[in-house]
Amino acid sequence: MCPHYCSRRRCCRQLAAAAPAPLAHPNYVVTHAIATPAGLDQLCALDGRFQAYRRTLFGQASLALDRDAATADVNAKLDAAIAGFCTLLSSYFLLAPAFKALEFLVRKYK
């Protein structure tokens, strides 16, 4: 029995330490980009205004964008797009698709 009153054979902390977190995967942005459209599709079904961000923030071209190497003008436009998306997303923050989309933005655009 684990000292944390866990009834499992292996301690709950041992299990957590043994399994690598999916967020720590080096290609997380690429693998997460495959799952993100499903969340984005759900958001688009709720509110059609999310469609505009499918091409800009979640498009294939955004995967190749390196924010550190981008110009100040590109970063300013990106900041405006992210702010607009977050403002629109604020009404849906408690939904799972909103969490997935927001997590993608945080990890991709830092």
pLDDT tens sequence across 64-101: 888 889 999 999 999 999 999 999 999 999 999 999 88
Residue 18 has pLDDT above 70, yes or no: no
Question: For residue 45, what is the DSSP state?
Answer: H
- The per-residue pLDDT of the chain, averaged, comes to 78
Residue with more model confidence, 40 or 5 = 40
Residue-level pLDDT at 23: 46
The 8 Å CB, 24+ separation contacts for 1-7 are none
Report percent pLDDT > 90 for the chain: 37
Residue with more model confidence, 61 or 56 = 56
Residue-level pLDDT at 14: 55
Residue-level pLDDT at 108: 84
Residue with more model confidence, 38 or 75 = 75
pTM of the model: 0.67
